[in-house]
Amino acid sequence: MHIFENITDTKEHILELKNKGMSIGFVPTMGALHPGHISLIRQAHKENDIVAASIFVNPIQFNNQEDLKKYPRTPEKDFYMLESAGCDIVFYPTAVEMYPEKVNVVYDFGILDKVMEGKFRPGHFNGVAIVVKKLFDITLPDKAYFGEKDFQQLAIIKALVKKENIPVAIVPCPTIRESDGLAMSSRNERLNEEERAIAPVIYNTLLEIREKIKKEPIPEILSWATEKINNQPGMTVEYIEIVNSDTLLPVRVFDTNIPTRACLAAFLGQVRLIDNLGLDMN
Ligand code: AMP
């Protein structure tokens, strides 16, 4: 496995492989890898000749500097996990390599970056779009893999690719969970023992929403879910929404024929957790 810190070397290496007719599957990450990330690597390995991953904690997508500072960094362990899963190339740049000067690009994603995460993390998706565009320019992927765990991010990336005419297929990958249902996340490591025991309530609530939506009105379900989570010690809901999976606009009345998703964000102590679940197809 090749590890590159420099943009030019990475691009040269990838161009050489592409000129030999090899396809590139790309998995962008912020490191502190867990089996959720590795599932993306394995999927990319199945569908491409070469798998490239990036590890970069992107400063411009953090609107909370404390969160950026506390973000876990475990590069040696990450390299080992990537190599074991069949990754061929890791791009591991510094912030100066990625942003030698201030970036002023402002994307317009319409409603997609204004709702849910966008409402509570202003500028976050603009930072994500800037870094992903840059990473695509460097790694020139045929296919790029993103987790449904970050459902709104996936919608933003699809919109970015369309807007910028980037010739890459975006492949959504299912959320990988702990055995008790908690969605795997690098942030889970920051939960203490009590918080970790409570955390599965998020997924359980989403599962219950999926049952309730068949028979109860949406506003009632949302109040019930908010109360259920807020009643847990140390837990506060930031948002719970039931949205159209394509437009991310709130759904007022459930229709099994329209792709629908329940999305939620909640603080558990100091740790902000997000999760989502498709409601329509089951
Ligand atoms: P991150 O390192 O958090 O930026 O995540 C990198 C990629 O891994 C993103 O596409 C995430 O959606 C994806 N990812 C993170 N956690 C999971 C999970 N539990 N299951 C599947 N994909 C995930």
**Beta bridge mates, 2:** 89
pLDDT digit string, tens, across residues 49-71: 999 999 999 999 998 898 899 89
Confidence of residue 227 (pLDDT cuts 50, 70, 90): very high
Q: Averaged over 118-122, what is the pLDDT? A: 95
Distance, CA of 88 to CA of 94 (rounded, Å): 20
pLDDT on residue 282: 47
Task: Evaluate if residue 278 carries a pLDDT over 90.
Answer: yes
Burial of 88 from C-beta contacts in 10 A (0-12 / 13-18 / 19+): buried
78 lines ligand 1 (CB under 6 A): no
Average pLDDT over residues 184-213: 97
The pLDDT value recorded for residue 67 is 87
pLDDT of 69: 93
Q: Is the CB of 154 under 6 A from ligand 1?
A: no
What mean pLDDT value characterizes the chain? 97
Spatial distance between the Cα atoms of 243 and 256, rounded to a whole number of angstroms: 13
147 CB under 6 A from ligand 1?
yes
C-alpha–C-alpha distance, residues 33 and 53, integer Å: 11
β-pairing, 2-4 vs 89-91, is: parallel
Q: What is the pLDDT of residues 249-270, one digit of tens each?
A: 999 999 999 999 999 999 999 9
Q: For ligand 1, what atom is nearest to the CA of residue 30?
A: 2
Region 231-252 average pLDDT: 97
pLDDT reading at 94 higher than 70: yes
Q: Which residue is closest in CA terms to ligand 1's atom 8? A: 37
Residue 115 Cβ < 6 Å to ligand 1: no
Q: Which atom of ligand 1 is nearest to the CA of 31?
A: 2
- Ligand 1 atom with the smallest distance to the CA of 149 is 12
pLDDT of res. 38: 98
pLDDT-based confidence at residue 281 (cuts at 50, 70, 90): low
- Tell me, what's the pLDDT at 280? 82
Q: Which residues does the annotation mark as catalytic?
A: 37
Q: pLDDT tens digits for 9-43?
A: 999 999 999 999 999 999 999 999 999 999 999 99
